Amino acid sequence: MKIAILYISKHGTTEKIAKQIADALAEYDCNVIDIKKHKHPDLEKFDYLILGSSIYAGKIQQAMDNFCHQYLAQLQPKVIGLFVCGMQPTEEQREQELMRAFPSELFERTTTKSFLGGEFLFEKMSIWERWIVRHISKVSNSVSMINDHAVQQFISKLQSHLVLASLDDNNSSLDVNKLPETEDDDLPVEVFSGVMWECGMVKSILEDAGIEAFFNNENLGNVAPWIAAPGGSGAINVVVAKHDFQTASAIVQQFIKNNEA
């Protein structure tokens, strides 16, 4: 499975995040491509594509916008992730800029997309850029506001997509002996147990993959989170229908592996 992360970066922040994503997807054949240097990459040789750009004055860089429109027909069936890097202070501004960043034909059909934060790197800015930042953002020194949690969640969602694709491509399955012995295909079965934030992320990843997931002991975790730990009687559990257990388990194993890395 070949993957390309196609990015454009002005001062290096988007490039840094693109390489972080590539490192997390190291088990795949993952290529990081700067479209400013490689304006006409051979997209046909890749199975999946991830696009990333920095945001300036509310827009992605013009070269990325041109690239998306030029290769739209080739991008549409392959893009699995969109991300932008910027310094917008409010959640509403971040969501609006993410929605406007890429062509709607890509944004609407891609489930994994995120605003990952950004940096002001004064040492790499021109005098004009530093003046603008000082007067608009009221910042006079280099500062990093990369959202590490958002980056990890973005990576986890990409991994869940790729796990599902691998299962489809290989027609593989988990050991049937690991499946719970229940007669009803819709009965709920536990697929993960952990603290509340872990379960929340697993639930989100599964739902992004089209798998309906629920919490067990959710109220206990909210009221007494100190006892909602793996292996304890008050643990938070994520449950899915038995017919989704096989696929969900593969996604959960990837999540666990990523957290251990």
Residue 167: pLDDT band with limits 50, 70, 90: low
Instruction: List the single range of 100-114, 196-210, 225-239 with lowest mean pLDDT.
Output: 225-239
Residue 233: pLDDT band with limits 50, 70, 90: very low
What DSSP string runs through 44-90?
A: GG-SEEEEEEEEETTEE-HHHHHHHHHTHHHHTTTEEEEEEE---SS
Instruction: List the single range of 57-71, 73-87, 205-219 with lowest mean pLDDT.
Output: 205-219
More confident residue, 240 or 229: 240
Instruction: List the single range of 84-88, 160-164, 166-170 with lowest mean pLDDT.
Output: 166-170
Residue 175: pLDDT band with limits 50, 70, 90: very low
Q: Which of 120-134, 161-175, 200-214 has the highest mean pLDDT?
A: 200-214
Is the pLDDT at 110 greater than 90? The verdict is no
pLDDT digits (tens, 9 = 90+) for 20-40: 999 999 888 899 999 999 989
Query: What top-level class would CATH report for the domain 2-164?
Result: alpha beta
More confident residue, 125 or 180: 125
Q: Which CATH number, 3.30.70.1530, 3.40.640.10, 3.40.50.80, 3.90.1150.10, labels domain 173-260?
A: 3.30.70.1530
DSSP helix/strand/coil, 261: coil
pLDDT score recorded for residue 235: 62
- Under 8 Å between Cβ of 112 and 2: no
Is the pLDDT at 144 greater than 90? The verdict is no
pLDDT score recorded for residue 221: 41
pLDDT score recorded for residue 157: 84
Is the pLDDT at 95 greater than 60? The verdict is yes
SS3 content of the chain, % helix, strand, coil (to 5): 45, 20, 30
How many angstroms separate the CA atoms of 57 and 61, rounded?
A: 10
Domain boundaries, the chain: 2-164, 173-260
Question: pTM to 2 decimals?
Answer: 0.68
How many angstroms separate the CA atoms of 119 and 258, rounded?
A: 25
DSSP helix/strand/coil, 158: helix
